[in-house]
Chains A and B, each alone.
Chain A
């Protein structure tokens, strides 16, 4: 089956994650309140954390399968990852940060790809600046460019816009849609902002305490909330714990 197929089970410090879902070549949002297991899911998909049991495959290539003892390290998984705090290397310039993402391309190819990224992400003129010397929105673009330079087959984003003010957040949402259309790969965005989830996604996966509360398009979720928990989200009320 095409797309990202995920089945994960993991227990840690009294919290249990047990989920199974699939996304196609689309922009999907993983939604839930803090502690629902969203970031943990990205860590498990990317190989930064090991599931107790489960399977992760993308376009029929298996990256993790507990039954078949397959567990590729994060380095061998062609997934771009944008962290919540962006994780730009403070001792590298914008140019070096982006190049670092493409370290495994051939030299000529790497330079061309980095120049393409600078152009596509409107970072011209900032190449020699350090992360501390650029704005929040520019940092976001560098982080996404760095994750995409090696042409991953999937892009994972962990609440990258949460620290931005509202106008910039709206701009970055639009930008992310354009990026998805341009690179044409599945994108999985984690957020705890339901408005953001509705505005940006083709598919919403809603988590509730480590389990799936509902999966569907924004319209479906709106029309038929699967539970009180989900309808609570629609009215922007924090659900009853």
Chain B
């Protein structure tokens, strides 16, 4: 990686840590340990199912919220506070700034997800007292969640490059919600006719297809995940993130920093 990109990424990560973003881990730990103790007492046979479902959903939601709330301010806040002036007056290219910010935020989320994953496995061990081979599937679900974060980070940065934090948050959340129902949107497009069909098909392919990344339920039921899906999702996330980041760079490269 370009060294300046690495320095910017590392500073973005440091900012998140110093702004106590990782404190969300405490809330996550409390939620998960409370849930594990509760299901351990009230459910029979399905404790594991509940813990995996709840744990992975929480990992995803906590990460998405952090990705959006940090991501939307990554560029606009720097412009507003004018911290960007002393960065861009150095031999730093604008694209390096955007890419550095992206890796910094993505790195923060990966570290966050790593600690949450430890929590999920700890809660799982608490309720089932052992690990089985099928539990390794949780890692695939976690990998998909991280791919989701990569897409959301790039989208948040894209919106942050031209919009205010409030509007960026609205755009990013809307896309996350619509993207979570992307399969339904595609089905609707298949059933619609005329202009509506054209519009729905366009929207279905434009919004990120987050539903393809959600394997939490099947993993909780110990159903294997196809290798092809892992490959497709990886390529899709990388492609989508590159597209969104390219858009962010294109906008930012031509923007006056008033």
- A and B from one complex: no
Q: Which residues of A does B touch, CB under 8 Å?
A: none
